[in-house]
Structure 1
Amino acid sequence: MGSQILNIAIRADGGKQIGMGHIMRCLSLANAFRQGGHRVSFISKLDEGIERIGLDQFAVIRLPLVEQATKCSFFGDAERLAETCKMIDILSDDKIDILIIDSYHVNEEYFRTLKPHVKRLVYVDDINAFPYPADIIVNGNITGKYLTYRKYNEQQLLLLGPCYNMIRSEFSHLPVRIVNEQVQEIMLTTGGSDPYHITTRLLRVMLQHEQCRTLRFNVLVGGGFANINDLISLQHSHENVFLFANSAIIHEFPEIVYSEISPLMLRSDLAISAGGSSLYEFAACGTPVMAFIMADNQEFIVQKMAELGYIHNLGWHDRLTDNAFMDGLLTLINAVQQRKDMSCKGQSLVDGKGTERIVNRIIQSLEAN
């Protein structure tokens, strides 16, 4: 089995409303499989996610957004029923060995219907919503070991905790962070999308404050942003605002400069971020973070990371007042030792080898049979 080339399919979506976190971590896993010589393709629905997958040159099979149920005996809502029927055809036609699913739009019957058609069914999870009938469960979050997973059966493999975090290879082998006494640059990111326009709001608040006017702001613009022109206007009117992206939107908006993510995180003394997978990337870079919550699945992660001293918790975005935000920011800017402690703890949390460990455990589980 060690020398056998495996066919792997990954089911994940990314878009303006759901963000790009599922796509980005699955791309990390896909690249790890590809480096091992295996064939990887994606199954996806939304344009933004499909476009991002294409940048890494993986084949994508597009699922229709809505399709009427046909001949399948799967019981569920019409779209999930139709998706499962289509998925079975794909698994059969492409002779898929391993199916990896990273989606919250699943139920027990969804897994049960697909499982017989592959050698290994893998589910990438964040929330432990119910006992999943999959062969392998992956939760690389800091909360993974606190969610009291119960095995669906004795054979099920649970890969839990930050040692299985699907961080991208650009965040491995980074140097130990030297924390500057004075904060000079702040990074601002909400990930691949910003449906609540938080980036614009917080940037305006900081630009209006006297103590922030000498700071440089490195703003990451996601491919799913709907208010890019507002950010460009702020950049034009403030010489200390710089817009960056690591997606194809740079071709549509020449004012935005292309950049990989890790160099922005490494050059920034402090970051303001949504509570998604970016928190682990900041940790690897040793960049102190103030995190706000944008979605239910982020709440426990942000709370636990703050409780353990890795980040500063700003709470839910819609309950965060401008004054509370600025009070927290100015406090952390002036708390040099706290920033040093956060940086040191963060760099000990993830080592960038999570995807390699996941790939090895999946392949080992096949070899054991």
Structure 2
Amino acid sequence: MKKKVVLFRCDASQQIGVGHVMRCLSLAQQVEKLNMDCVFLTNAGGDDVLRHYASFPIFTSRYSPNESEIDQIIKIAEKFQASYAVWDSYDMTVDGVAEVQNHIPLMILDDVYLLPHYSCDAVLNQNLYADPQKYSVNHLTTILTRSQYTLLRSSFREYMEKDREISLQMPARLMLSFGGSDSDDLTSLIIGWLIKLDFPIHFDIVLGPHYAFKSGLLEFVAADLAPNHKFMIHDNVRNMAELFIQQDIVICAGGSTLYEVACLGIPSCCIITADNQVELAKAAEEHGFSKNLGYIDEINPEFINSIIEDLIIDHKKRIHMSEIGKVIVDGLGAYRVASYILEKVHGKGGI
């Protein structure tokens, strides 16, 4: 029996980051495990991300900005005889969604309530704060919301199941991870502040594929201006779960990394680098698994350093944050969504 095919439409670039492609890849990983093939229609940046991170066979087709996006989606769906499509973008229209749905069952990944109406098979908002009432949909459209559907790669679930203790040892392991591009170079800024703390820190610095400030960062580390601290630079990490699990604290942007570290039970602090991160940063702090450090243009060294120092010292607080995170994000979201798609392509309805 010929395998069913699922088509993914998403892009990556220095401007928009790699999040759209990475969450589609997390879902595609589970789709492939359920014996379906995956095709990605993506731009050059997305193709680079897939080549680096995909650990299973994927067919790719290069998206052209000079042609109609809708026509390309339909054309690729027909070429590969796709049975289902997943579209993850902040650049779509009501009419475009409806037109694709007329040709193939379509799931929209949307965490910003982008459109006034959705004529598609399903809408997915994986966020903790997602409100299904904010989506205007057809009566046959399924709405999948909140952290039970958070799309994480399977490695996070695997590492979540390993025993891990919250460490009291020094130096503390502290990771900085600000996405695929970190266009504001928060990495260098925060390091420059934290090295002023009195106790030693082992910094794990994660750089994304579009990080443009690597040479300056390497020069800083090589200059050995902070001999009390240790620095390790990790470039284009393939297995983030393996690196996360070694950390005491993670400082990151207010995006999907919060879910990844919550799943592993790693306390985090987040900085809001874009408007679409505001609600998640607030919700993560309200639930108790992360500290919201505020907007990027409002942070200051005294506040940041006091929060980090408090977390390093307060072992019980980190244990509490760890336990809450693992309850809220169980690592099975991608499996649940892939199972929904499997049911739909075999005509059994879905969740």
Flag whether TM exceeds 0.5 (same fold): yes
Change (3 A) 1:99 1:241: same
Q: Deviations over 1:280-311 (max 9, x none)?
A: 11011111100011111111111111111111
Tell me the matched-pair count.
337
Q: Where does residue 127 of structure 2 map in the other structure?
A: 141
Q: Deviations over 1:64-83 (max 9, x none)?
A: 23x26xxxxxxxxxxxxx22
1:12 aligns with 2:2: no
Change (3 A) 1:307 1:36: same
% identical aligned pairs: 26
Change (3 A) 1:259 1:22: closer
Provide TM-score, normalisation by structure 2: 0.91
CA distance in 1 between counterparts of 2:138 and 2:45 reads: 37
| Alignment RMSD (CA, Å) | 1.8
Q: Where does residue 50 of structure 1 map in the other structure?
A: 47
What is the DSSP-based 3-state SS (H/G/I as helix, E as strand, rest coil) of the residue aligned with 1:23? helix
**Which amino acid in the other structure matches residue 286 of structure 2?**
E
Say whether the 8 Å CA contact 2:266–2:322 is kept in structure 1. Answer: yes
Match of 1:201 among 189, 214, 223: 189
TM alignment of 1:217-296, pairs within 5 A: 217-238=203-224, 240-245=230-235, 247=236, 260-296=239-275
CA distance in 1 between counterparts of 2:84 and 2:322 reads: 37
TM alignment of 1:29-48, pairs within 5 A: 29-45=27-43, 47-48=44-45
**Which amino acid in the other structure matches residue 198 of structure 2?**
Q
What is the DSSP-based 3-state SS (H/G/I as helix, E as strand, rest coil) of the residue aligned with 2:181? coil
Q: Where does residue 160 of structure 1 map in the other structure?
A: 145
Q: Where does residue 360 of structure 1 map in the other structure?
A: 339
Say whether the 8 Å CA contact 1:188–1:273 is kept in structure 2. Answer: yes
CA distance in 2 between counterparts of 1:147 and 1:335 reads: 37
**Which amino acid in the other structure matches residue 175 of structure 2?**
M
What is the DSSP-based 3-state SS (H/G/I as helix, E as strand, rest coil) of the residue aligned with 1:319? coil
Structure 2 residues without counterparts, runs of 5 or longer: none
Q: Where does residue 64 of structure 1 map in the other structure?
A: 64
**Which amino acid in the other structure matches residue 180 of structure 2?**
G
Q: CA deviation at 1:88?
A: 2.3
Q: CA deviation at 1:312?
A: 0.2
Say whether the 8 Å CA contact 2:37–2:58 is kept in structure 1. Answer: no
Q: CA deviation at 1:92?
A: 2.3
What is the DSSP-based 3-state SS (H/G/I as helix, E as strand, rest coil) of the residue aligned with 2:180? coil
Q: CA deviation at 1:86?
A: 2.4
Q: Deviations over 1:247-279 (max 9, x none)?
A: 3xxxxxxxxxx5621122111111111111111
Q: Where does residue 168 of structure 2 map in the other structure?
A: 181
Q: Where does residue 211 of structure 1 map in the other structure?
A: 198
